[in-house]
A = this chain, B = another copy of it.
Amino acid sequence: MEIEEAFGKVLRKIRVEKSISQEELAHLCGLDRTYISLMERGKRKPTINTIFALAKGLNESPGDLVIETENLLHL
């Protein structure tokens, strides 16, 4: 599995757990809704700044997002 695919799964999992829509998350972190969609499906590789923005919108630690991604990749 590619890194961006794992990250997308983590992103979607956390978002759904919090019952937030893509549109709400986009608004919370100042990103475009269609871009959230692309990331969740592993079609984009976010920069470090985007990772921090997503974490803030999800009320999570950026490091935790990355660690969960590592775990999915059994790294």
Q: A residues near B, CB below 8 A?
A: 3-4, 7, 45-49, 51-52, 61-67, 69-70, 75
Contacts and interface: CB of A to CB of B under 8 A. Distances in A.
Contact of A62 (B4, B61, B66): B66
A28 to B, nearest CB: 17
Secondary structure at the A interface, as helix, strand, loop or mixed, is helix
21 contacts: A3-B48, A3-B49, A4-B48, A4-B49, A45-B49, A47-B48, A48-B48, A48-B51, A48-B66, A48-B69, A51-B66, A61-B67, A61-B70, A61-B75, A62-B69, A62-B70, A63-B64, A63-B66, A63-B67, A63-B70, A66-B66
Contacts of A62: 66, 69-70, 75
